[in-house]
Amino acid sequence: MTTPFGSHELTRFPEDPRDRLRAWDAADEYLLRHLHGGTGERGPVDLSAAAGRITVFGDRWGALATALAAYRPVQITDSYLTRAATGANLRRAGVPEGAVTLLTTQDAPPERIDVLLVRVPKSLALLEDQLLRLAPHVHAGTVVVGAGMVKEIHTSTLDLFERILGPTRTSLAEKKARLIFCTPDPAAGEGTPSGGGSRWPLAYTLDGDAGSGAGLTAVNHAGIFCADRLDVGTRFFLQSIPNNTAGARVVDLGCGNGIVGTAVAVADPEAEVVFADESYQAVASARATYEANVPGGSRRGRAEFLVGDGLAMLPAASVDLVLSNPPFHSHQATTDATALRMFAQSRRALRPGGELWIVANRHLGYHTHLRRLFGNSEVVAGEPRFVVLRAVKREKRPRPM
């Protein structure tokens, strides 16, 4: 990536030489050009004066944090993969450790923000939640600039900036990217919850169509998939997941709000359940869902909550069952790379005889990938849109002499 702030070699995480997707896009380039020299009627931003008080929210793979590392920015992200990519890109660029502060969406924001840069996230709810959290830390002189591709910026996006922070307008489009300019107004957030609070997390009770999840309470922080309701794929999955886990070590992989793993824990008090996701918001939701339905008592210590790259942090052959509703998007890009990595990680983490159960859109054809990886795949349940698949990790057969 070449910008007025220098040239940097950037990669996504985990690195894959076959991955043709870049670690930056035209919106990152547009924003960095604006910060350096100004665009249109807006002049350049004095980053030197704001050094140490620059906050970047929504940086996809660390492109902005790496380019602006000399100004000691704070990066806020919901993604473990983004955080890992940022760390790798900073090291590759020779940036001293600690020059960029890496925070998650669950951490307290910086006390004072003089420059706020926002890469518009896919989730409008996450944008609302984070703007509400950040609003008390900006002031009338804070420079607020958002960036995104044209398809990512809608009237509802601009309305959030306007309602929470102050008067907002957009730039002309360049290379299908657009900037958002917002002038903070202390009176703008008077109609929002006091202290910059948020309406999140939300909680609701699952109805009788949710299979083994019926009657359970789901708790959702902003930004997780279908945060205000149970998505139809998970609802179908809950009607089919095993109910005879018999004290097994079970992983809810890509756990989202954790309702699948919680359903297992409620049905089998002896099961040990691991909730794993790369989203800090998701794992916080899973913990809250679990605690809302399985309060302390005999199950204390029988649940584990992991933020990371799927099952990469678990020892090989250490679990009996993996349950997953894998994603097929990475930010705005449609890709099966994440799901395939989750399948491979599951096979490694499963003990011989262990099983991977997934729910997925039927058209994705995941059965072929499972057969290639596990040597087997069967349909447990299906309907016109979704299918539940099961694959078993077989014992390795000795090679013939």
Residue 168 pLDDT level (bands cut at 50, 70, 90): very high
Q: Among 1-15, 41-55, 172-186, where is mean pLDDT lowest?
A: 41-55
pLDDT, one tens digit per residue, over 378-398 is 999 999 999 999 999 997 654
Q: Among 146-150, 191-195, 212-216, where is mean pLDDT lowest?
A: 191-195
16 pLDDT higher than 90:
no
Looking at residue 89, its pLDDT comes to 98
Residue span(s) of the chain under CATH 3.40.50.150 come to 2-196, 202-392
- Which CA distances in Å does 321 have to 1, 72, 232, 238, 260? 42, 44, 22, 15, 12
Task: Provide φ and ψ at 156, rounded to 5°.
Answer: -65, -30
Looking at residue 18, its pLDDT comes to 80
Residue 187 pLDDT level (bands cut at 50, 70, 90): confident
Average pLDDT over residues 77-86: 98
**Are 10 and 21 in contact, with CB atoms under 8 Å apart?**
no
> What letter represents residue 143's amino acid?
V
Distance (Å, whole) CA 389 – CA 374: 12
Looking at residue 401, its pLDDT comes to 43
Strand 54-57 and strand 217-220: the pairing is unpaired
Residue 38 pLDDT level (bands cut at 50, 70, 90): low
Average pLDDT over residues 252-272: 96
Architecture, CATH, for domain 2-196 = 3-Layer(aba) Sandwich (3.40)
CATH fold of 202-392: Rossmann fold (3.40.50)
Q: 3-state DSSP: the chain helix, strand, coil percent, rounded to 5?
A: 35, 25, 40
79 pLDDT higher than 90:
yes
Is residue 387 exposed (0-12), middle (13-18) or buried (19+ Cβ within 10 Å)?
buried
Looking at residue 398, its pLDDT comes to 44
Query: What predicted TM-score, i.e. pTM, was given to this entire model?
Result: 0.93
46 pLDDT higher than 70:
yes
Average pLDDT over residues 166-174: 96
193 pLDDT higher than 80:
no
Helix axes 155-164, 124-134, angle to 10 degrees: 20
**Are 314 and 322 in contact, with CB atoms under 8 Å apart?**
no
Residue found by looking up tokens 């991977």 in the block: 356
Looking at residue 226, its pLDDT comes to 84
